[in-house]
Chain A
Amino acid sequence: MAARAMGVREGRTLSPAGDEREGTANEILLDVAIQKRYADSTGSGFTLDIRFAVPAGFTILFGRSGAGKTTTLEAIAGLVAPDAGRIRLARRVVFDSASRVNVDVSRRGVGYVFQNSALFPHLTVERNVRYGLRGVPEIERRQRVGEILDSFRIVSLAGRLPRTISGGERQRVALARALVTRPDVLLLDEPLAALDAATKGRIVDDLRAWNRARRIPILYVTHSREEVFALGERVFAIERGSIAAEGLPQDVLETPREETVAQLAGFENIFDARIAALHEEAGTMTCLLAPGAIEIETPLVRVEPGAPVRVGIRAGDILLATERPRGLSARNVLEGTIEAIEERDFRVLARVNCGATFAVLLTPAARRSLGLAAGRRVWLIVKTHSCHLLRPAAED
């Protein structure tokens, strides 16, 4: 929640205005179109086929592990070579299979921060940060290291070894080490995954402040929904090697049209369904959920009656009542029985069988006051607009 609040607070200041570099604010500074074939042990494998072009600012690559997010970063950095395609960084083409350009990783001008920070364990914080400045005159090197240590508030750690500082401090050092080289693009591979929310928030604030001064594209890989909302100006949802959806975080994650995005974005209830009837005058339609032929009313979309669809409903969007409710605006009221109920981290998850099993999210207080337990008869209430129609995921 804290992370989402931060996203709202920071959201407006992040519009790509006030570019201090040459070129226009929306100039494309990273242009990627690559393919790479992966074979797995079963022989099927998948093809990474990623195309995007982004200006300065945060772009989130969101998806489950194995989707191809890290490989995309590694291809941009030059750590893996795509089979085909083209990568342009700032105004330089660093990879082009057609003209056989493949600039060595050491000369791409990329900043990369790994999930485990990858600080050199035998070097002090200061020497880690200096590492990428070989060839820079000593006076300038000292000045740049001093500035970056200062802006990431790690001056006091300069003489320490990585193993003697905290996880959050290590990621700050890793960021400083990447940014002191003045890269043309910053690639962040789940850099904050292992940190607590407060540390994460402070590092994100520092990174935002830094990026206001030097606008470069920042690609940020994550599978955390909170981080998407906290950071994203743009999000690309990646699934099995390609971009399944893109746009503003609230568009992609709050109203997903792709089933895979919905699963990633925390839709606990996803059902196969068939369109039973269209009600064009009401802007709704009736779907039959496959498991128990349950009728459910959803928003109208352009499909033929009888067409297969999938319906996604968040567990937190379902109301639960212990008596049949009356006088409601909600169109979907389903009668069922609690199959199981479990409490974890101040959240109660009830599984209710209404012909199909729905996951319903409650607070512990609601559970107590309603006396909810397995076997109890209940009614579920779902608003029409809480039912999201999804495009089914491609079969594996």
Chain B
Amino acid sequence: MNWQALELTLRLSCVTAAILIVLALPTAYWVAYSRRPWKFLVQALASLPLVMPPTVLGFYVLVAFGSSSPLGRLWQRWTGHTLAFTFAGLVVGSVLYSFPFAVQPLVNSFLAIDPKLIDASRVLGASRLSTFFRVILPLSASGLATAIALTFAHTFGEFGVVLMVGGDIPGVTRTISIDVFDQVQAGNYAAANVTSLVLLAVSFLVLAAIYAWNRRAWPRAPWA
């Protein structure tokens, strides 16, 4: 068992999930409640990673942060190196790759809230922001848990983006799924089996936890 790869993957999953929640909450709020006619474009853009091959996404991340792009040069000026083959590169790729997995459960949760509750809060003197934290977010606990767990699990098992952006540097970018790939390439099936089982178990436990949590989540309007 490659403990170093496991530790790295856990760290990547946690950082990605944390960043995604911060980004996904305002995005999901906007998608759920905006009445802009061009909202569908944002929705399509946010869902792109669901259908794009991970290698294509990884390729674009490389290009966008490459030394010939303005973004890449800015990054290099800040950090002194390119984004490719670094842990930060993995985080950027993972955030983009798992973005829809964070946004969609939150949008669904927000839309399931009775709009009258939001009206009631506003009439009672609460600002939009205050309404978000006092009514919308507490009533979206299940969506929030789902978003966190899905982004965590999705990042935990990702392969294509990681390989494209990060390569295979032990301790820096070699995640658990790449480790499995390496072991299979080397004909080391027994080790690949152990690692794969760990990946399978973690994924199953996370999904089971989501469903268990959602089973006892707040219903939208228990008396309606």
- Interchain CA distance A181-B122 in the complex, whole Å: 13
Cβ of A122 under 8 Å from chain B: yes
- Residues on A with beta carbons closer than 8 Å to the beta carbon of B219: 121, 163
- Chain A neighbourhood of B171, CB < 8 A: none
- A-side contacts of B130, CB under 8 Å: 134
In the assembled complex, which residues on chain A have CB atoms less than 8 Å from the CB atom of B192? none
- Nearest chain A CB to B8 CB, angstrom units: 38
**B135 contacts which chain A residues (CB < 8 A)?**
120
Q: CA–CA, A170 to B139, complex, Å?
A: 19
Question: Which residue of chain A is the closest to B221 with respect to CB atoms?
Answer: A121
Number of interface residues of B (CB under 8 A): 24
Spell out A's residues near B (CB within 8 Å).
Answer: 77-79, 105-108, 110-112, 114, 116, 118-122, 131-132, 134-135, 162-163, 167, 170, 177-178, 181
Q: Are B120 and A120 in contact (CB under 8 A)?
A: yes
Report yes or no: B127 in contact with A106, Cβ–Cβ below 8 A: yes
Do B126 and A106 have beta carbons less than 8 Å apart? yes
Given A106-B126, A131-B124, A134-B125, A116 contacting B119 (CB threshold 8 A): no
Chain B 202-222 near chain A by CB (<8 Å), digits 1 or 0: 000000000000000011111
Which residues 13-58 of B sit at the A interface, judged by CB distance below 8 A?
Answer: none
Indicate the member of B114, B119, B125 with the most A CB atoms within 10 Å. Answer: B125
Q: Which residues of A contact B126 (CB under 8 A)?
A: 106, 131-132, 134
Contacts A112-B119, A118-B117, A120-B117; A181 near B125 (Cβ below 8 A): yes
List the B side residues contacting A110 at CB < 8 Å: 123
Is the CB of B121 closer than 8 A to any CB of chain A? yes
Q: What residues of chain B have their CB less than 8 Å away from a CB belonging to chain A?
A: 114, 116-117, 119-127, 130, 134-135, 138-139, 218-224
A–B Cβ pairs within 8 angstroms, 16 of them: A106-B122, A106-B127, A112-B123, A114-B120, A120-B117, A120-B139, A121-B218, A121-B219, A122-B139, A122-B218, A131-B134, A132-B124, A132-B126, A162-B222, A177-B124, A181-B124
Complex CA distance for A135 and B138, rounded to whole angstroms:
21
Distance A116 CA – B124 CA, assembled complex (angstroms): 16
What 9 pairs across the A-B complex have the smallest Cβ distances?
Answer: A132-B124, A163-B222, A118-B116, A118-B120, A112-B123, A105-B122, A122-B138, A114-B116, A106-B125
When A106-B125, A134-B125 are in contact, do A112 and B222 touch as well, CB less than 8 Å?
Answer: no
Cα-based distance from A114 to B119 in the complex (angstroms): 10
Assuming A163-B222, A170-B223, is B125 touching A116 (CB within 8 A)?
A: no
